[in-house]
Each structure stands twice: as structure tokens, then as C-alpha cells.
Copies of this chain bind each other. A is one copy, B any other.
Amino acid sequence: MMLLDDRKQRILQAIIDDYISTAEPVGSRTVARKHELGLSSATIRNEMADLEEMGYLSQPHTSAGRIPSDKGYRFYVDKLMKVRELSADETESLRKAMEVRISEVNQLLKQASSVMSRFTNYTSVAVTPQMKKSVIKAIQTLPIDTGKALVVVVTNAGVIRNSIVKISESILPDTLTRIANFLNDKLSNMTIEKVDKSIFNEIERELVIPGKVVKPILDAVTHCIKQIDCPEVYLDGAINIFNHPEFRDISKAKEFLSVLDEKYVLYSIMDSVSNDRLINVLIGAENKVEEIKDCSLVTTTYSLGGMTIGSIGVIGPTRMEYSKVISSMKFIREKLNQEINKLLGDVDED
């Protein structure tokens, strides 16, 4: 495959920069005028025809300027784009926005998502991963009231779930404590994927307590574990899409928003993004969901002790300010990792 020579690259960059800021197809004259390449429009015209043939640009219709194709954006993001430095004001406001007392990891993610959407003017998504590999740290049962108890499950990733159970009123707090201790012995330090029916059966056999009390508690534990494993999706700044002309058409806006409404679709997209890089960029049809094939997605993940505990992404039109999004996301990622450590740092020890 033919490579882009230096001049072609500069022209491509000029076109994409221009298109990102104006949203209008870019013509040869514009390139010649605005960017000082020392070339006439005719020359640029020829180069643009080449770039189109090579698949980096496309034409909405014959007598319009060119717009970047997915391939064009890909090249731009990988090779051409100048990384934008955040100004002091910007870092300051991001830093401030992340300074909130937060007690659970999910809340932190949610907050980060909100910050990103406001800062970038795009829509932001945050998801918690499947937690199959996370480890149970503690299980506790608390008497709340006559006939009621609370079951709490805590994992090494700082996720906490609880569930109320009705129990016979004759159960003494001590009994509950005994059950909790037994559950802790059996289950703590296990990954949740390993917790299954057979273990519960075993527990039910070994733990002989009069009155039907063990079963409902085990059910509650199961329920908590299911909830821990069940990924959550947070969304922010959905209406930001109305700021971008590509969604002026109502049916486009609807398509986009309908994807956001289906949380599991969103989840599967976020989940399928490979996370081999710090920041991942998925351009246009690189994602498989038809409805958002004109959108790009910039994502990153957070981890604690080698375990991914959440990922966050910004989604907007392919004509996205990649530079701004990527640099702010790097910053937020950093900040978020710090916060997570502050919060849970020493809980984890692998």
C-alpha cells in the first residue's frame, strides 16, 4: 500500500483540523487560504483527489468539499494530531471537580463521568466491569429490628452490597453472628465466580441452626453477589449531542439516544473495547453498533491492584475534538486512580 508523503500528510491534517472546527466540508481553496502550505488550490485539489482515492477522504456529493473518512480520522489520531496541553485553568477546574468525598467506587466513577461530559461537551459513559474475579472480603449479618436482618457483602474492589431478610423473631443476635462467622470462614477470600450452588449446599449441611434462618440468609448473599457481578452503567451529558450539527437531524439524534437508552448495548460496547493502551479510541464503524457508526468513542479504564474496576468513555460524533478529549481523559484517569487508592489502597494486597 502506498504511503502518504509528507505533503499529503500536511494537507490531510489541515483538512481534518478544519473540518473538526467548522463541521463544513473543506474545499481546496479553503486549505490554500487558511493554512500556509505555499501551494495553490489546484495542486491541493490534485492531492485531495489522491487522498480520496486512497480512502482518507470522501465527498458528500460531487461539488462539495471533502470530509475525513474513518480511515482519515484513524491516521489523524495515530500520527498527525497535536496533543493539546490543558491550560492551568483547565487542570485546576478538573481537579476541583474531582474533589468530593465519596465512599464507594461506583460513585467515584459516576462523578468522573459527569466531569468528563461537562468538560468535553460530549456525552460520557461509565461502566463497572463484571466482577467475577473480585474477592469477597467480608460478609456480615446485622439485626435491624425484630424479624429483620441485613446481610452485607464487601469485596476487595470496594464494592458493597446489602439485602434485607425477614427472619423468625426468635433468632438471637448471637446466632446471626455465628452464621456470619461461619460464612466468613467459608467464603472470604474467594472470587465470586467460584461461589456457586454447591458451596451453599455444603454450608446448609454443615451449619445446623434451628428455625428456617440459614436459607433466607444464603439467598440474600446470593442476591448480593449477583448484584456485585451485575455491571452498572452511568450516563451523563446526553443532551450535549444537540450542540453538534451532525445531530441536527431528528432521526440521527433519536438513533444516538436510543443507543444510550439501552444500557446493555452501551455496556457491551464499552466492554468490548480492548484496553491494551492507556487511552483507547474507537472511530466510526470500528465499533459494531450500526446506530452509532458515525460516532467515536474514547475510553480508558481504572484499576486497583491489577484489577480493572471501571471504565469510562466519551462518545460523540466522529468529528470529535480528539485532542481535547484525550488529554482531559488522561488527566481524569490519573486523578481517579489516585482517589481510588486513597479510598481503598490498603484493602487490596495482591
A residues engaging B (CB < 8 A)?
Answer: 101, 103-104, 137-138, 140, 142-148, 150, 152, 154, 158, 160, 162-164, 166, 220, 223, 237-239, 242, 248-250, 253-254, 257-258, 261, 343-344, 346-347
Contact = CB atoms under 8 A, between A and B. Distances in A.
Contact of A158 (B146, B164, B261): B164
Copies of this chain, complex-wide, total 2
A223 B103 contact: yes
3 tightest A-B CB contacts, nearest first: A103-B163, A242-B254, A140-B142
Contact of A254 (B148, B223, B239, B344): B239
29 contacts: A103-B162, A103-B164, A103-B223, A104-B162, A104-B163, A104-B164, A137-B145, A138-B142, A138-B143, A140-B140, A140-B142, A140-B150, A142-B152, A144-B154, A144-B347, A147-B346, A148-B347, A150-B160, A152-B152, A162-B162, A164-B343, A166-B346, A237-B261, A238-B238, A239-B254, A242-B253, A242-B257, A248-B250, A250-B253
Contact of A250 (B104, B164, B242, B257): B242
Contacts of A160: 150, 162, 164
Nearest to A117: B261
B137 A223 contact: no
A189 B220 CA distance: 25
A253 B238 CA distance: 12
Contact of A137 (B144, B248, B258): B144
Nearest to A150: B154
Given A104-B164, A142-B138, A346 B148 contact: yes
A145 B257 contact: no
Contacts of A250: 242, 248-250, 253
Contacts of A104: 162-164
Q: Which of A101, A250, A344 has the most CB of B within 10 A?
A: A250
A239 B258 contact: yes
B147 A138 contact: no
Nearest to A259: B239
Nearest to A105: B164
A248 B164 CA distance: 45
Nearest to A164: B103
Nearest to A177: B177
A264 to B, nearest CB: 13
A101 to B, nearest CB: 7
Contacts of A147: 346-347
Given A101-B223, A103-B223, A144 B150 contact: no
